[in-house]
Amino acid sequence: MDREQWNSRYAGSELLWSAHPNRFLAAEVAELAPGRALDLACGEGRNAVWLGERGWEVTGVDFSDVALAKAAKLADERGVRIKWIQADLLQFVPEPGSFDLIVVLYLHLVGADRRKVLAGVAAAVAGGGVLLVVGHDSSNLLDGYGGPKDPAILFTPDEVAGELSGLRIERAERVRRPVDSPQGETYAIDALVRAERSDLERRRRSGADRFDEVWEGVYHVVPGPSGAHARIDAQLLALLHGPATDAGLYLMSESNLGESEHDFRVPDGGLHRSGADSMWYATAAMVIEIVSPGDESWNKLPFYAKHDVDEVLIVEPAERTVAWLVLRKGEYRPVERSALIALACGALAEQIDWP
């Protein structure tokens, strides 16, 4: 449909669609902190206004001037300020990295035009920002109710996910939406895609990336240490200092274990046979891992074995346990006592003041 056809549809005094927000939008952004939002193909503004009521700084874009006039009226009635822009979406190019949330709801274009629009909005997602795309799924033609009947303008979640360059796909699936019909309540089938842009630059600026790692070229965001993690880390440094010194080993806090920026791990601490300062340590006599929720401490063992780390000390604050692992024939085996320093699992666990 062209602009005049949409203007004709929006010409009535009543809202063409509900004044309530889209159910999927409400669910997907419920936990997000307000920031800058872009509602592309905003129509009569119900979603833009709802976001504005929740503290978002919203820009709504549509090519129907009639729809935007009704959107402005709705915003005035609800007491929110929205920036409205009338534009052809094929010509509208948002500034790269300028929005914390972009919503594209029920915008149906032929494939080439859809890809052009999505490329522009994907680039406009800021670090840590979210893009939400929802529309009638291709399967809705035969298995759902309502929606466009032209298969050329429908899409699947996988198609949209494959068109969002530079974003991490968090969710891509078909969802059912209840609708009323002459026969009673039935369902429409929608395609929903939620994508995010990694917030690496912001992490670097804040120093939150100090524990992040690269696994064979793949960047792994490591959860920041909790207060409990930090308290145990400080205790371990104190408890291990004497035994390490007696054994002629050098105790260090977190360091980069690996040989390049393309494949390395960051243990919480370690014992080294040399005190030489280095950006990269090819190996260690022992590494220390303090397990935090969501981290990958146990998954690092093959890497440590490959780099000939003799022992791994894994501390589980949630379980209040200590595991000592020794490398034997290429694999780590649990032991009760370290072969490197005069300390045993039980003794160390007893000395820790567990949070």
User: pLDDT tens, 59-84?
Assistant: 999 999 999 999 999 999 999 999 99
DSSP state of 167: -
**Is 232 in a helix, a strand, or coil?**
helix
11 CB-near residues (< 8 Å, 6+ apart): 66
2 CB-near residues (< 8 Å, 6+ apart): none
Distance CA 160, CA 158 (A): 5
Contact (CB, 8 A) for 46 and 19? yes
Distance CA 304, CA 263 (A): 12
Q: What is the pTM of this model?
A: 0.59
Specify the DSSP element, H or E, that contains 227: helix 227-246
With left for phi above 0 and alpha for psi between -120 and 50, is residue 124 left, alpha or beta?
alpha
Read off the pLDDT band of 182 (50, 70, 90): confident
**pLDDT tens column, 16-73:** 556 689 999 999 999 999 999 999 999 999 999 999 999 999 999 999 999 999 999 9
Q: Other C-beta atoms within 10 Å of 130: how many?
A: 22
**Amino acid 5: pLDDT:** 58
Instruction: For residue 116, give Cα distances in angstroms to 36, 135, 308.
Output: 22, 16, 50
**Is 17 in a helix, a strand, or coil?**
coil
CATH code of the region 222-351:
3.90.1570.10
- Average of per-residue pLDDT values in the chain: 91
Strand pairing report for 99-105 and 36-40: parallel
32 HSE (CA, 13 A, CB side): 23
Q: Looking up tokens 């991490």, which residue turns up?
A: 168
Per-domain residue ranges of the chain:
3-198, 222-351
Mean pLDDT of 188-208: 82
**pLDDT tens column, 105-149:** 999 999 999 999 999 999 999 988 999 999 999 999 999 988 889
Specify the DSSP element, H or E, that contains 284: none
CATH fold of 3-198: Rossmann fold (3.40.50)
Is the pLDDT score of 282 beyond 80?
A: yes
Is the pLDDT score of 205 beyond 70?
A: no
**What would the two tokens of residue 82 be?**
């929205």
**pLDDT tens column, 214-227:** 999 888 888 777 78
Instruction: For residue 159, give Cα distances in angstroms to 22, 137, 155, 162, 240.
Output: 22, 10, 6, 5, 54
To the nearest whole percent, how much of the chain has pLDDT over 90?
A: 75
Is the pLDDT score of 242 beyond 90?
A: yes
Contact (CB, 8 A) for 196 and 170? yes
